[in-house]
Structure 1
Amino acid sequence: MAPRNRRIGSVKNELLHKSREGALAAVQIFNNPNITFKAESYVVLMNIAWTYMLHAHYRGQGIEYRYFSMAGSRRRFDKTKHGAHKYWELERCLNEDQCPIDKNAANNLRFLIGLRHEIEHQMTSRIDDLLSARFQACCLNYNEYIKKLFGDSHGIEKHLSFSLQFSTISMDQKDMLAEHPELPANIQSYIKDFDERLTDAEFSNPQYAYRILFVPKTANSKGQADRVIEFVKSDSPLADSINKEYAVIKETERTKYLPKQIVELIKQDGYSAFKMHHHTQLWQAHDAKNSSKGYGTMVAGKYWHWYSKWLDIVRKHCAENIGLYS
C-alpha cells in the first residue's frame, strides 16, 4: 500500500475509533442512574461521535473536510490562532452535497445540534424523559450508518444492553409529554419551532424520534423467551389486540387552524381590514401549501389546515403592512 493510502487509512481508523468511543460514552452516561447531567452530556458526545464518523467517511472518499479559501489555484487552509486546521462541524458535514445521511436522520441530528446550542451555557431540568424518543432515534441511526458506511463489524449494539430500572413506567409520567412548565422558555420555544418546521411525515418518522408503547406481558407457558421487551409487527394479531385492549398515550397534536380561523385571529389582533382574499393571496405568494415547507397539512383528504408556524407568518406580514389592514 502506498504511504499516502496508508496515512489516509490510519487517520480514518483513528476517527472511527474515537467516534465509536464517543457514542458508547454518550449512551453509558445517559443510562447511569448516578448521573443527573444526562441530556447535556449525551447531546455533546453524540454530536462529536457523528462528526468523527462523517470525517472518517469524507476522508475515505477523498472529500476535503477542512475549511479553506482559494488563493489563485492554491488552497489556503483556515487555522486557529495556535496553527491547527479548522475542521467541519457536524452541521457543515450534513450540508455537504455528498453527505450520506438521509433527510429524516439528518432532521434528528439538526434538532440535537440546535438543542446543544440552547443548553450549552445554562442548566436544564427534566428534558431526559421528554426528549428520550429523539435520543433513542439518534442511537439507532448512528448504529445503522456506521455499519452501512464501514461494515457490520463496526456496529456498537453488541457492547450495549437494555437498562434495568428500579421503578415502573407509571401513568403519571404521561404528564411529561404535555406539561413541563419548569422547562426553560428558550427550550420550549426551540422544540416547538423546530417541530413545526417539519411535515407530518417527517415528524412521525422513527429516524427523527423513536417512540415505543410498552405494555406488561406475561408468558403463557414455561420455556418461552423471557425478554423484558419484545417487538411485534404493527399489522400482527398481537399488535391489533394491544391497540384494542390498552389505552395508548398519544403525543400532543400540533395545533391546526382552518383558513377562516386564521382570518378571525388576525382580526382579533387589530387588523380589521384583513380579509379571506388577502390570506389567499399571501399563501399563494409563499407557495405555502407546498408540503415540504411545513406550514400546514391536508386533513381528511380535502380540508387544508394551517399550523401555528403559518399563523406567525401572517402576523408578521400584517405587522409589516399595518397601514393596509388596520
Structure 2
Amino acid sequence: MTVKRNRKIGSFKEELLVKSREAMLSAVQIFNNPNIHFKSENFIILANISWMYLLHAHYRDKKIEYRYFRQTGQRKKFDKTKKGAFKYWELERCLDDKDCPIDNITKANLKFLIGLRHEIEHQMTTKIDEYLSARFQACCLNYNDFIKQLFGDSYGIDKHLSFSLQFSTIKEEHANQLRKFTDLPSNIASYINDFDNELTDQDYNNIRYSYRVLYVPKAVNRKGQADKVIEFIPANSPEAEGLNKEYVLVKEREKKKHLPGEIYDFMQANGYPKFTAYQHTLLWKEKDAKNPLLGYGTQVAKTWYWYDNWLNEVQEYCQKSGDLYK
C-alpha cells in the first residue's frame, strides 16, 4: 500500500515539473515574440504559475502539506472550492513557508512580480516591457538555477533557449528614455518606486533581483576570430570594472526623489531660514521646473517629486541671492 502511494506521489510530482517547465518556456517564447504586444502581462502570469508548480513539486517531494486546512483536534479539515476541489497554496504562500528553499533575493524578485500582477490585473497597461525586462531575465535565470538545484541538471531549461535577435541598436538616447517613468500608468510607477525603495542598494543591484546587461558594439582584430553576438565577461574583471565606471550613469534605477517640503526644509537647515514654501513655489513656476522635458522631477500618482538636480538648482539660486533668504 505504501509503495503504491509513493509511486502516485512521484508521478504527480513529475507532472507538476512538466507543467512548470512548459509554463516558463511559454512565458519566454511569448515575451520574445515580436508579433505579441501583451508581453509583460503574459510573462508575469505564466512565470507565477511556473514557480508555483515548481514549489508544489518540491513540497510534495519533501512530504510537506501544501494544501490549505484547519486543524480540528487530531484531524485536518481541508479547505475546498465551491466545486469541491482542494485549495493549494498560491505562490506567495509557498514563498513565505519556513521550509521554502528559495533565497531572499530571489523571493524579492518574485514578490515584485506578484505585486505587479495585482496592479495590472484590474486594468490594461502599456509600455512596461522595456522597464521590467531585467527583472524578467533574473526570474528566468533564477528558475533555471533552482529547478536544477532541487531536481537535477536534466530539468534545466537553458538548453531549450537562445538569445532573441534584435532589429535595432541600443543607443544612449534609448537608455535615457528607459530611465523615465513618465509614460507609465501612475499606479505602476508608484508600485515600482515603492517596492524598490524598500530594498537595500546591495539587494537592488543583485543579479537575482534584476539582471542587467550592458551592450557594447565589439570590433575584432582580424577575420576568423570567434564572433558571438553576446559575450559575457566576469563582473569583477578589469574590463567589467572599467565599463561600470564609464557607464555608471546608464542605470535602470529611478533617481532619488524629494518631496517639496524636503527642498525648502533643506535650504532652511543650511543657512536660508527665509526660503519658504512660498519662495519655492515662485521659483519653480518662474523656471517652469515641472516641465518634464527639463528633467527636474516626476509625477507619481498625485504627488510631484523633485530630483537632486533641482535641489542643486535651488541651492545655487539661494547662494546667488546673497542675504535675501538669510
TM-score range, shorter-chain basis?
0.7 to 0.9
Give the Å deviation of 1:222.
Answer: 2.9
1:250 — aligned with what?
251
Cα separation, 1, equivalents of 2:254 and 2:41: 27
Give the Å deviation of 1:256.
Answer: 7.2
Q: Is the 8 A contact 2:25 2:157 kept in 1?
A: yes
Q: How does 1:109-188 map to 2 (within 5 A)?
A: 109-188=110-189
Give the Å deviation of 1:219.
Answer: 1.9
Q: How does 1:1-326 map to 2 (within 5 A)?
A: 2-243=3-244, 249-252=250-253, 254-255=255-256, 264=265
1:222 to 1:16, Cα distance in 2 relative to 1, 3 A: same
1:72 to 1:196, Cα distance in 2 relative to 1, 3 A: same
Q: Is the 8 A contact 2:19 2:50 kept in 1?
A: yes
2:290 — aligned with what?
none
1:195 to 1:84, Cα distance in 2 relative to 1, 3 A: same
Give the Å deviation of 1:204.
Answer: 1.1
Give the Å deviation of 1:246.
Answer: 6.1
Larger Rg: 2
SS at match of 1:131: helix
Q: Is the 8 A contact 2:69 2:76 kept in 1?
A: yes
Give the Å deviation of 1:134.
Answer: 0.4
1:248 to 1:39, Cα distance in 2 relative to 1, 3 A: same
Unaligned runs of 5+ in 2: 270-326
Give the Å deviation of 1:235.
Answer: 3.4
One-letter code of the match for 1:170? K
Cα separation, 2, equivalents of 1:9 and 1:163: 35
One-letter code of the match for 1:12? K
Give the Å deviation of 1:241.
Answer: 4.9
One-letter code of the match for 1:16? L
Q: Select between 59-68 and 171-180 the one with higher mean Cα deviation.
A: 171-180
The number of equivalent residue pairs is 266
Give the Å deviation of 1:262.
Answer: 9.0
1:198 to 1:252, Cα distance in 2 relative to 1, 3 A: closer
SS at match of 2:9: helix
One-letter code of the match for 1:184? P
Cα separation, 2, equivalents of 1:116 and 1:246: 31
Q: Is the 8 A contact 1:130 1:176 kept in 2?
A: no
Cα separation, 1, equivalents of 2:42 and 2:156: 21
One-letter code of the match for 2:138? A
SS at match of 2:76: strand
1:225 to 1:156, Cα distance in 2 relative to 1, 3 A: same
Give the TM-score of the pair, scaled to structure 1: 0.76
SS at match of 1:214: coil
One-letter code of the match for 2:197? E
Per-residue CA deviation, residues 218-275 of structure 1 (Å, 9 max, x unaligned), is 1222332210110112333433554566675123465278xx969927x99xxxxxxx
1:309 — aligned with what?
none
Cα separation, 1, equivalents of 2:201 and 2:232: 24
Cα separation, 2, equivalents of 1:100 and 1:207: 15
Give the Å deviation of 1:202.
Answer: 1.1
Q: Is the 8 A contact 2:144 2:158 kept in 1?
A: yes
Cα separation, 2, equivalents of 1:248 and 1:225: 31
One-letter code of the match for 2:148? K
Cα separation, 1, equivalents of 2:228 and 2:168: 17
Per-residue CA deviation, residues 291-315 of structure 1 (Å, 9 max, x unaligned), is xxxxxxxxxxxxxxxxxxxxxxxxx
Q: State the identity %.
A: 62
Cα separation, 1, equivalents of 2:48 and 2:193: 21
Cα separation, 2, equivalents of 1:19 and 1:195: 28
> What is the root-mean-square deviation in Å for CA atoms of aligned residues?
2.4
Q: Is the 8 A contact 1:30 1:38 kept in 2?
A: yes
Cα separation, 2, equivalents of 1:218 and 1:172: 22
Q: Is the 8 A contact 1:58 1:65 kept in 2?
A: yes
1:275 — aligned with what?
none
Give the TM-score of the pair, scaled to structure 2: 0.76
Cα separation, 2, equivalents of 1:112 and 1:243: 27
One-letter code of the match for 1:110? K
One-letter code of the match for 2:4? P
Cα separation, 2, equivalents of 1:246 and 1:81: 56
Cα separation, 2, equivalents of 1:244 and 1:72: 62
